[in-house]
Structure 1
Amino acid sequence: MENLFDKKISEQVIDRIEKLKLDSSAVWGKMDVAQMLAHCCVTYEMVYDKTPPKPNKFQRLILSLLLKNIVVGEKPYKINMRTSPEFIITEVKDFDKEKSKLIKYINKTQLLGKEYFENKESPSFGALSSTEWNNLFSKHLDHHLHQFSV
């Protein structure tokens, strides 16, 4: 998994994002490019802005048992994999605003570094290692950038 805590790698990911255009089309899925960017921001919003609400203890246990390894492990996501309701974006989004917001989140994450994320609490899975956080961020971005051929 690419290490987004490394400035060079995060810049490469941002370069890929910069290649997206308002009329970029998806190879799979229902989201347009602005919705995809907003969708990618949700992970960072959960970390930095504490939205949407945290699942209850029972829901977290189920999420940890069934999904944690899929979400934070090394194996790439499958095409058209189902997502959690909090990540579903159906409303019209502003492409430039969402792109700018995502880039700011990536830069913030890189600047805070892996130490900040070591044993940081995930709203869904409890404490994660910095490697698990990186896997979550990196493979989610890579999955959706491939979705839009960048």
Structure 2
Amino acid sequence: MNTLFNPENTKTILLRLDNLTETSEAKWGKMNVGQMLKHCQGPLNIALGNQVLVTKLNFFQKTLLSFYKPVLYNNKPWKRNLPTAKEFKITTPQLFLEEKENLKLLIETFSKKTVVKTWPNHPLFGYFTPEQWGQMQYKHLDHHLSQFNV
């Protein structure tokens, strides 16, 4: 299974990022390429402890999300137009080159944390193993790079 903790998988993601241009157009969704680059930084920042989301879920929401959780890190691609946390909805203009470099740095930082055994709980889904964090981050990036046809 692909994971950002595999150097070859990380290299592939970074090469795909290099194929994006300021004029890359989405095959689906509302974000432009700069907004997507900014959006993709959110989950990495959560995992790295750089960002905290305070989310209060009721019992029904927690139960519903528990059924969805395995989809985040299994080997099936994510579906198009999935809902996202409001904190990760990017609607303002973004500087393409700046956001591209910021995302690359976060990917490189995350991918080097192969010996970390304790990661922060996800604000919506709770505990993930280190392997699940790596798989989930890969899938999220793969999803959005596919969105922009790279």
User: Same fold by TM-score, threshold 0.5 exceeded?
Assistant: yes
Provide the residue aligned with 1:85 in structure 2: 86
Kept in 1, the 8 Å contact 2:3–2:136? The answer is no
Aligned-pair identity in percent equals 32
Structure 2: which amino acid aligns with 1:121? N
**Matched residue of 1:112: which SS?**
coil
- The structure whose residues are more often helix, as a share, is 1
Tell me how far 1:18 sits from its aligned partner.
0.6
In 2, the alpha carbon distance for the partners of 1:63 and 1:133 equals 20
What is the aligned partner in structure 1 of residue 135 from structure 2? 135
| 8 Å Cα contact 1:117/1:133 also seen in 2 | no
Partner of 2:25: 25
Aligned length: 149
TM-score under structure 1 normalisation?
0.87
Task: Give the drift of 1:52.
Answer: 4.4
Q: TM-score, normalised by structure 2?
A: 0.87
Equivalent runs, 1:26-65 vs 2, <5 Å: 26-56=26-56, 58=58, 61-62=62-63, 64-65=65-66
Structure 1 outlier segments of 4+, above 4 Å: 117-120
Structure 1, unaligned runs of 5 or more: none
Matches for 1:112-123 after TM superposition, within 5 Å: 112-113=113-114, 115-117=115-117, 120-123=120-123
Partner SS for 2:40: helix
Determine the C-alpha separation between the residues in 2 that align with 1:120 and 1:56. 16
